[in-house]
Amino acid sequence: MLEETIQVLAGDCTVVADGADREEHRGRMTAVVKPDNTVLVHDGESYQPVAWLTRADSVSTTSGPPEGFTLVAHKDEMTLRLAAHERDGFGQYPVSTAGTPVGRCPDCAGALVRVDGVSCVGCGERYGVPDDATVRDDRCSCGLPRMRVERGYAFDVCLDRDCESLDAAVRRAFDREWDCPDCGGDLRILRRGGLLAGCERYADCETGFVVPAGVVDGECPCGLPAFETESGRRCLDSTCERVAAPAAGD
């Protein structure tokens, strides 16, 4: 279930922002308190807030008599106070991060959106997705969309790594396929923060390379595989400068 909420307070209010300078405003305004304690107070005139406090250290709201409420927020030497003389609204509502729609959640039928991964607007379920992944229209048997990710080959796997693992797909394709340039041992496909091709003789040999986003395109003169990436052709070893363009007709 979604746990984050946004608080909305509206009415005929006086707002006082007190810090290096003091500003006071009165009018019919709406205050928004975001999950990160950012407070925004808007009137009906400008696109900018009348007053605001970004990521306050503390925020307290109190519903007073039926016609009123108060809000007090502090950050460092800054204090923002809002007091309602007449209340139009005082409520708390579920909120999520907004993103690009990519499908429907098989669990709750809520919208799946792409932003810092993929998350469900309805139930809040989140799936980690590589930044370079393309979320596809076709679906896995579990009901989730599939994604295409280039890690040596173009792999199509489920958004849920517990359903279909990108790591396992890359490991099946490339584990022990390449030799360590320093000791001749096999390079194993490992997860160490990111996907690595690391020497099997670790810790005696600490050679390891991040598997880039791209597809294998021949061999670098150094003996390691070359990759065609969005930024051009490169060696598995990002420090190698010997990689050459493929020969005509390859």
Instruction: For residue range 178-207, list pLDDT tens digits in order.
Output: 999 999 999 999 998 889 999 999 999 999
Residue 188 included in any domain: yes
Number of domains comprising the chain: 3
DSSP at 249: T
Q: Is the peptide bond before 203 cis (omega within 30 degrees of 0)?
A: yes
Question: Which pTM value belongs to this model?
Answer: 0.74
Last-in-domain residue among 162, 189, 215: 162
pLDDT for 226-241, tens place per residue? Answer: 999 999 999 999 999 8
Asked whether residue 151 is domain-assigned, the answer is yes
Mean pLDDT over residues 7-24, rounded?
94
pLDDT band at 1 (very low <50, low <70, confident <90, very high): very low
Helices then strands, counting H and E runs in the chain, come out as: 1, 19
Residue 249: pLDDT band (50, 70, 90) is: low
106 and 76 inside one domain: no
Provide the residue range defining the domain that includes 51. 5-94
> For 54-79, how does the pLDDT look when each residue is reduced to its tens digit (9 = 90+)?
999 999 999 877 789 999 999 999 99
Consecutive H or E run containing 198:
strand 194-199
Share of the chain above pLDDT 90, in %: 84
Domain shared by 22 and 76, yes or no: yes
Out of 61, 94, 127, a domain closes at 94
Is 247 inside a domain boundary? no
**Same domain, yes or no, for 12 and 86?**
yes
One domain for residues 153 and 183: no
Q: Which residues contact 11 (CB under 8 A, 6 or more apart)?
A: 28, 29, 68, 69, 84, 85, 86, 87, 88, 89
Same domain, yes or no: 105 and 90? no
